[in-house]
Structure 1
Amino acid sequence: MHLPDDQPKFDLHPDRLRALSVLFKLPQPQPVEQAQIVLLGVSHGANALALACEYPNAKIIAVASAAVYAQRIQEACKHLKIKNVRILSVSKWLDFTPKTPIDYVLCHGYYSYLSDDEKQRHTAQIAKVIHPQGMVYIDYLTTSGWQAFENMQYILTQIYPAENLQSIDETTFNQSINLLYRYLPTSHPLCHQLNHIMPKMNLRTHPSLNGYWSLKQAQTETADDFLHRLHELKLGYVCDSDISRYYFQPLPDDIQAHCGRNRHLSENLYDLLTHQSSRASLIMPIAQLLQFRLPSHEDMYESLDSLHISGHFQLEQEQTIWRSTLNPQIAVSATILNSMLLESINHVYHANCTLAVKKLLELLETKFKAVPDIHQSAYMMLLSLVLSGALHIRSQRQSGFHHQSAMIALHEWRMHHDPHLTPANKWLQPIAKKDLEVMKIAEANAQ
């Protein structure tokens, strides 16, 4: 089985991290176009290459976990004429002393496959090089929710000898898992777990899976253990990257009362109760977080005004509900105000840009000036959509047209070299060539 490509992730984007620092009134890292960004454990480098294309003046440092990945990234940089990516081996990274502190450290799909000693060394290095106002993103596998995956790993090792796991065909792999799943009693605990985490058993497209998880032994830990490691190194936990859990998925009141002020315990219990198999933590130097508390809606009022948003909504057939394509669980009633708000967001989305919240609010106030408290109503709707994940946020205006063209060029080039790789454009979603000219026109109209 070929390892899938690492795909650009929207929640990993450094400007999203900067936007969250604005929203939460934290010290802000450098704007991304002027920043030094480290990406740890890159495989084929899609995140690093996407950022390099989007921000040619940023300094990107890609830490490759194997020589073959370093070579492939170098080849891709040459193909795309990228000159702002520096590639380090893991050993060189651990001894790396930058001339100026690092503004963003991004670690996706890597940390939990390290030994305990390696985790300690990597985290200590992050603490050493990060800027006092820098931000860190680390995702890791949680002990409480990873049990189903461990059971699946066991099943795989029984089906195939370990030496053959790397070479099996993906279709055969999925068929074998489905065959076992079909004969599990519905009351079997594993059946319930598999039902929850992988209903279609598709390793490449299911959002909970990366494709390579089943082939490697993960070193899981609880949120408490992870946060303890951070605190020892004077790093502080801001929150989970999925901020919706704090505003729309609270623990039951009696569980929350049991936790009291023990945030570590509440995070562990959340993982257990929601089958959470991984979490992506946002981290800053602890000195910046001594008085920090997650803000209320009212606390974020002015902050949202300075941000930029993107998103996409579809009007359902009965014409009464708009549904988010980014988070299909989110539905918005099709009132005149809501429809105008969402149509404006869609217009900019199709241009592959972001929309300034301030401009959108000014437009709505002009169109609905006779409506009392129109600013407050529109603001509360936008904030709810941001906090729920139905809208993406950026601290500055973003136009992804050239970036997307580069990612399509990279994908086509890679397909020629290795047809088993997956599309390198999940960040902005795959798009057909015929649509590029339409996007270019739409972008020009949005200026």
Structure 2
Amino acid sequence: MNAQTERIAKTYDDLPYISGCFPQSAPEHLRAVAYLFGLDAPPLHQARVLDLGCAAGGNVIPFATRYPQATVVGVDLPAVQIEAGRRAIETIGLSNITLRQGSIADLDASLGQFDYIICHGVYSWVPDDVREAILRVASECLSPEGVAYISYNTYPGWKAKEVVRDAMMLRGGGRASQEEGLAYARGMIDFLHDTAQPGSLLEKIMDDNIQMVRHGDACYLNHEYLELCNSPCYFREFLAKAAHRGLSYLAEAEIASMFAGNHGRHTAELLLNECAGEQVVLEQLMDFINNRTFRETLLVHDKRADQIRYRLDPSRLVSLHLAGRYVPQPDNDGRWQEVHSGRAVATGPDTQQVIDALNEAWPATVAVEALVRRVASVSRQAAEEVESSVLKIVYSLIISNAVRFRLEPVIAPPRPIAYPEVPAVLRRLAELRVSGDVPLTLFNAWHECLVTLGPVEQKLLPLLDGGRDINALGEIIGRSVANDELHFQRDGKLLVQPEDIAAAIEENVRRSVQWFAEIATLAASSETAPAGKPAPKRRDRKAQ
């Protein structure tokens, strides 16, 4: 390990990221993407997962929670984050995950083979020898049918951002502390923004980045723009280095970026004519069109490259499980909008049935086969025509990033919820976070971070053990109000009347439980109540 690597590790110890999860890197998603393009990746229930640059483990703890029979290993150099992660893992009771402190450059095949290798937010931000080691480890330690995920900064989009980084480094680099360095760096960008010549390229660059620099998270800005290393590359350059290690391109984690059709018919025709059927050429061209700055690339062993099929096979779509949440477009033009991606969806009778089914099930998935049956139940078309119609809808939703997809179902409790239950690991993690010294985010069944919790949600989450109904939870919140720990307002005024406070408590508890259900946080084992009826009385479990 060289001195530069040690200096980088120290900056992360001094200013650690809050360690969280990245949905596009979830092994469930990687397996489903591989399947779409013709490859069968290892099953998840006993999968071996390696996270290179794991910080405190925030991107693999959720997977270890969902799959207790899987084996998870995380490796990172900053000792402060590794120790914090180890303490949290021991406290929350996970036995299938291990965090190792050390340099990626020191790893070799003796580490063992892994079905899924994840390296998020590391490749572009480390010295050359560590970048080379990432690809070497991805090759040596990837199981024969495994999938590796590596994210990195890319050109051409980072050409302009390098102007921002260079200017920030000019004034902010080498300062006594990271806080001081960022303050000086922000001042430099303010200066350039205010003095750039009208109509100049510099003015355009500053206008595009000024809000991010002024208001961005200090941790992100320090590690992205003031770190010792930040080495973007072109997509094809990255693949050439991967090929040197016997790795081939499979796909992007966000597959919508792979399809020319998302650029409109005219542009798509030009792109497809230019690339002559070469997927890598097509995507490099689209990187220029989109001025792309960041990629999340999936790699497999070279010997599997001939099995990859970029024309999606309808017979494989049938095996998927889908999820999505849709609302009418604001202009009410008859189209729908997927809530999380913001993608618009044109509707017709069959599409409307699909959207209705997905909305009813959210946040759980619906099997594509079930969608076919639902449309067939109201359609006058022949069975073959119905299946063809539904598969075309599924194809359109997937390639436009307007639906989530998995090979395994994501299960959520039906509503209304009588006795809400959050997985025990998540409850324990929520309790740990109260102390304020755990650099880990909470997470849901979709491998997403729960970034912000309100005061009521923070109080409730550790209590949702399946043994308390809405009334019991309301009583606990009531005691918090009586102890001056929580307060409720209406129209900016503090509520003081007992009846007003009681009404506010009931409203907030019900709304919070509903919110936990909608964001896929509640366990599938949460007990439900028939609609319109009171929650059943529980005698088999006591609140703890």
2:340 aligned residue: 326
Secondary structure of the residue aligned to 1:236 is strand
1:276 aligned residue: 292
Structure 2 residue 122 is the aligned partner of structure 1 residue 107: no
Q: Deviations over 1:276-296 (max 9, x none)?
A: 11111111111011253411x
2:81 aligned residue: 69
1:94 aligned residue: 107
Structure 2 residue 360 is the aligned partner of structure 1 residue 360: no
User: Is 2:322–2:367's contact at 8 Å kept on the other side of the alignment?
Assistant: yes
Paired AA for residue 414 in structure 1: R
Change (3 A) 1:116 1:173: closer
Secondary structure of the residue aligned to 1:187 is coil
Query: Which shows bigger deviation, 161-170 or 12-21?
Result: 161-170
Q: How much does 1:243 deviate?
A: 1.6
Q: How much does 1:403 deviate?
A: 7.4
Q: Deviations over 1:88-118 (max 9, x none)?
A: 233476135245x310001100111222222
Take 1:400 and 1:88, find their aligned partners in 2: how far apart are those partners?
Answer: 34
Take 2:375 and 2:205, find their aligned partners in 1: how far apart are those partners?
Answer: 46
Matches within 5 A, 1:19-418: 19-26=32-39, 28-91=40-103, 94-98=107-111, 101-164=113-176, 166-168=178-180, 177=189, 180-181=192-193, 184-185=196-197, 187-193=199-205, 195-196=207-208, 201=213, 202-204=215-217, 212-216=223-227, 217-247=229-259, 248-249=261-262, 253-254=269-270, 256-260=272-276, 263-295=279-311, 299-316=312-329, 319=332, 320-328=334-342, 330-349=343-362, 352-369=363-380, 373-399=385-411, 406-407=425-426, 410=429, 413-414=432-433, 416-418=435-437
Q: How much does 1:12 deviate?
A: 0.7
Paired AA for residue 135 in structure 1: V
Instruction: Give the structure-1-normalised TM-score.
Output: 0.84
Q: How much does 1:129 deviate?
A: 1.5
User: Is 1:326–1:389's contact at 8 Å kept on the other side of the alignment?
Assistant: no
Take 2:326 and 2:216, find their aligned partners in 1: how far apart are those partners?
Answer: 27
Q: How much does 1:394 deviate?
A: 0.9
Structure 2 residue 22 is the aligned partner of structure 1 residue 9: yes
State, as a whole percentage, how many aligned pairs show the same letter: 20
Query: Which shows bigger deviation, 135-144 or 317-326?
Result: 317-326
1:428 aligned residue: 448
Q: How much does 1:85 deviate?
A: 0.7
Secondary structure of the residue aligned to 2:250 is strand
Change (3 A) 1:82 1:313: same
Paired AA for residue 448 in structure 2: L
CA RMSD of aligned residues (A): 3.5
Change (3 A) 1:175 1:331: farther
Take 2:423 and 2:206, find their aligned partners in 1: how far apart are those partners?
Answer: 35
Paired AA for residue 323 in structure 1: Q
Q: How much does 1:170 deviate?
A: 8.3
Query: Which shows bigger deviation, 331-340 or 171-180?
Result: 171-180
Q: How much does 1:416 deviate?
A: 3.0
Q: How much does 1:185 deviate?
A: 4.5
Q: How much does 1:86 deviate?
A: 1.1
Change (3 A) 1:33 1:197: farther
Structure 1: segments with no counterpart, 5+ residues: none
Paired AA for residue 433 in structure 2: R
User: Is 1:361–1:378's contact at 8 Å kept on the other side of the alignment?
Assistant: yes
Take 1:75 and 1:81, find their aligned partners in 2: how far apart are those partners?
Answer: 10
Take 1:204 and 1:400, find their aligned partners in 2: how far apart are those partners?
Answer: 33
Query: Which shows bigger deviation, 193-202 or 115-124?
Result: 193-202
Change (3 A) 1:55 1:309: same
Q: How much does 1:301 deviate?
A: 0.9
User: Is 2:169–2:225's contact at 8 Å kept on the other side of the alignment?
Assistant: no
**Aligned pair count?**
435
Secondary structure of the residue aligned to 2:157 is coil
Secondary structure of the residue aligned to 2:21 is coil
Instruction: Give the structure-2-normalised TM-score.
Output: 0.70
Q: How much does 1:266 deviate?
A: 4.0
Take 2:366 and 2:48, find their aligned partners in 1: how far apart are those partners?
Answer: 26
Q: How much does 1:154 deviate?
A: 2.2
Change (3 A) 1:200 1:425: farther
User: Is 2:169–2:226's contact at 8 Å kept on the other side of the alignment?
Assistant: no
Paired AA for residue 368 in structure 1: S
Secondary structure of the residue aligned to 1:138 is strand
Structure 2: segments with no counterpart, 5+ residues: 1-13, 414-420, 462-508, 530-544
Take 2:166 and 2:146, find their aligned partners in 1: how far apart are those partners?
Answer: 40
Max radius of gyration: which structure? 2
Paired AA for residue 432 in structure 2: W
Take 1:327 and 1:59, find their aligned partners in 2: how far apart are those partners?
Answer: 31
Change (3 A) 1:195 1:32: farther
User: Is 2:154–2:293's contact at 8 Å kept on the other side of the alignment?
Assistant: yes
Take 2:184 and 2:339, find their aligned partners in 1: how far apart are those partners?
Answer: 31
Q: How much does 1:212 deviate?
A: 2.8
Q: Deviations over 1:46-99 (max 9, x none)?
A: 111111111111101111231111101101102211111111233476135245
